[in-house]
């Protein structure tokens, strides 16, 4: 006989409910931890699913573009040399925009208001027994990274101005800030990055390391890496008492954090001697970021001293830093002439057609820093002997002036002849009569990553002024 549920009394239902709760309490107390009985955890997990706040739909909000306020500069200086080197820093430092300090070994007698603020390095005598480096500034150079980070503090100001990069340079280094900001913006500042460059000379790079960033050229640490470095600096300094130079110790400490250097073209140590015009006329296809050893090299423009030359270069940077020293190859087929333009610096005019693969190699007008054992350089060169061959030697024109026309008119720069070449013509069309080159470049900033070189057209006026008009290349357009 099937029982009728209509006959169950309400009091019986209450009794069943009470009995059920009693048994469930016994189960929770004695059996819930048994590996085969995880029902309570299952219930808990299901409860959490219901109370979990769902993630908003769509992609993460974009990270704001890196700007100059996200960079903190640590400038290695000296009270003894600051009066001489201050003008180099003043060329690129932007009061109320750039952040950071000049770091000195002692308090200076006076300090110009227009210069970056200064701080005095810590007393490092406690590390004296670990200092067998052979270079007197090694400890100070390495510890300065920690000090530059600590000077900002973990807070770092308003959220919009949180530091993203710590940039270390010397006081005889010129920084091209706008280009550096754009390059660093390509990297994720939330990751661990140690960016810089090597020496131009094989001997210098081999002596120190191929796996470090040369400090004179400057290097950038992402803020998380700089934070980690500051935490281990005291102990790390003790572990490398015999390494020569702060750059090697810095690299060793960075390696302890599991980070390797990322070499980026454009950081220039300039371990070269003499006339570097050949190099500057054939700069790598990358933005110019830094320029070291400015008080050792010969002036980069004729008839100017070193500081005036740098000011002159900075005037071109002010007009368009993205194209500064970028190389363009142009051809005048009627005369079989080749033009190699280094924007803001020089134009080389050749009396025969020379392909880009050759023109991009610098003419060796310079000497290596020390060694005279080949290979001298970390890049290929054209031997200086080409200047004696009328078909290989260029007519040289140097940057004279620049005007940014605005309103879509672009940038107009002018280059004037250095002097007579002093050689016979290569063929039937001598270029000796060309006295000036006028260059028209677009107003937009030049993109570098994954982009081709820009193309150009050449015309020769009746006044023998050459005009070069730079433009974007067509899809399949050849530079020649």
pLDDT of residue 179: 98
Task: Tell me how far apart the alpha carbons of residues 226 and 165 are, in angstroms, rounded to a whole number.
Answer: 8
CA angle 396, 401, 406 (to 5 degrees): 130
pLDDT of residue 85: 95
- Per residue in 332-372, pLDDT (tens digit) is 999 999 999 999 999 999 999 999 999 999 999 999 987 66
Phi-psi region of 87 (alpha: psi -120 to 50; beta: other; left: phi over 0): alpha
| Residue ranges, CATH 2.70.130.10, the chain | 320-471
| Residue ranges, CATH 3.90.550.50, the chain | 68-263
pLDDT of residue 36: 40
pLDDT of residue 160: 43
Task: Tell me how far apart the alpha carbons of residues 420 and 281 are, in angstroms, rounded to a whole number.
Answer: 18
Q: Which residues of the chain have pLDDT under 50?
A: 1-8, 13, 16, 18, 22, 26-55, 154-156, 158-160
Q: Which helix (H) or strand (E) holds 368?
A: strand 366-368
Closest residue by Cα to residue 125 from 143, 112, 107, 113? 143
The CATH number of domain 68-263 is 3.90.550.50: yes
Kindly compute the dihedral angle of the four CA atoms of residues 456, 460, 464, 470, in this order, to the nearest 10 degrees. Answer: -20
Q: Is the dihedral of CA 463, 468, 474, 480 positive or negative?
A: positive
Task: Tell me how far apart the alpha carbons of residues 163 and 189 are, in angstroms, rounded to a whole number.
Answer: 9
| Helix, strand, or coil (residue 179) | helix
Tokens read off for 313:
């270069």
Domain 320-471, what fold? Cation-dependent Mannose-6-phosphate Receptor; Chain A (2.70.130)
Q: What is the pTM of this model?
A: 0.84
Main-chain phi, psi angles of 439, to 5 degrees: -120, 130
Tokens read off for 30:
């004695």
Closest residue by Cα to residue 335 from 460, 220, 423? 460
End-to-end Cα separation, the chain, in angstroms: 103
- Yes or no: say if 82 and 107 are a contact pair by the CB < 8 Å rule: no
Task: Tell me how far apart the alpha carbons of residues 88 and 226 are, in angstroms, rounded to a whole number.
Answer: 26
Tokens read off for 433:
């009569």
Task: Tell me how far apart the alpha carbons of residues 468 and 459 are, in angstroms, rounded to a whole number.
Answer: 7
């Amino acid at each position: 006989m099937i029982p009728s549920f209509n006959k169950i009394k309400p009091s019986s239902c209450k009794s069943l409910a009470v009995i059920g709760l009693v048994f469930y309490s016994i189960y929770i107390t004695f059996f819930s931890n048994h590996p085969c009985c995880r029902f309570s955890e299952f219930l808990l997990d299901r409860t959490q699913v219901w109370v979990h706040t769902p993630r908003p739909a769509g992609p993460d909000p974009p990270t704001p573009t890196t700007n100059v306020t996200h960079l903190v500069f640590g400038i290695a200086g000296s009270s003894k040399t600051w009066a001489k080197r201050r003008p180099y820093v003043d060329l690129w430092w932007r009061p109320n925009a750039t952040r950071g300090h000049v770091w000195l070994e002692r308090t200076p007698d006076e300090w110009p208001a227009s210069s970056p603020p200064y701080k005095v390095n810590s007393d490092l005598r406690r590390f004296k027994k670990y200092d067998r480096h052979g270079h007197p500034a090694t400890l100070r150079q390495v510890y300065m990274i920690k000090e530059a980070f600590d000077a900002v503090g973990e807070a770092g100001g308003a959220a919009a101005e949180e530091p993203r990069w710590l940039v270390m340079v010397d006081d005889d280094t010129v920084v091209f800030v706008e280009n550096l900001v754009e390059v660093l913006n390509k990297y994720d500042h939330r990751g661990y990055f140690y960016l810089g460059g090597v020496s131009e000379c094989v001997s210098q790079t081999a002596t120190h390391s191929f796996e470090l960033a040369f400090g004179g050229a400057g290097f950038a640490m992402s803020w998380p890496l700089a934070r980690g470095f500051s935490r281990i600096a005291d102990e790390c300094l003790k572990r490398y008492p015999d390494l020569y130079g702060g750059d090697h110790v810095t690299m060793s400490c960075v390696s302890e954090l599991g980070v390797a250097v990322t070499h980026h073209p454009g950081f220039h140590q300039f371990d070269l001697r003499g006339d570097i015009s050949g190099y500057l006329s054939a700069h790598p296809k990358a933005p110019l970021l830094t320029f070291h050893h400015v008080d050792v090299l010969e002036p980069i423009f004729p008839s100017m001293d070193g500081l005036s030359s740098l000011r002159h270069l900075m005037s071109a940077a002010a007009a368009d830093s993205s194209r500064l020293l970028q190389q363009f190859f142009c051809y005048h087929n009627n005369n079989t002439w080749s033009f190699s333009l280094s924007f803001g610096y020089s134009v080389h005019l050749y009396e025969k057609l020379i392909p880009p693969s050759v023109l991009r190699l610098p003419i060796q007008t310079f000497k290596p820093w020390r060694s005279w054992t080949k290979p001298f350089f970390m890049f290929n060169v054209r031997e200086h002997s080409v200047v004696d061959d009328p078909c290989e030697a260029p007519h040289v024109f140097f940057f004279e002036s620049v005007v940014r026309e605005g309103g879509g008119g672009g940038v107009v720069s002018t280059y004037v002849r250095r002097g007579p070449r002093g050689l016979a013509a290569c063929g039937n069309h001598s270029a000796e009569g060309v006295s000036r080159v006028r260059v028209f470049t677009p107003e937009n900033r030049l993109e570098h990553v994954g982009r081709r070189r820009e193309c150009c057209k050449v015309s020769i006026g009746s006044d023998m002024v050459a005009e070069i008009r730079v433009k974007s290349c067509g899809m399949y357009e050849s530079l020649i």
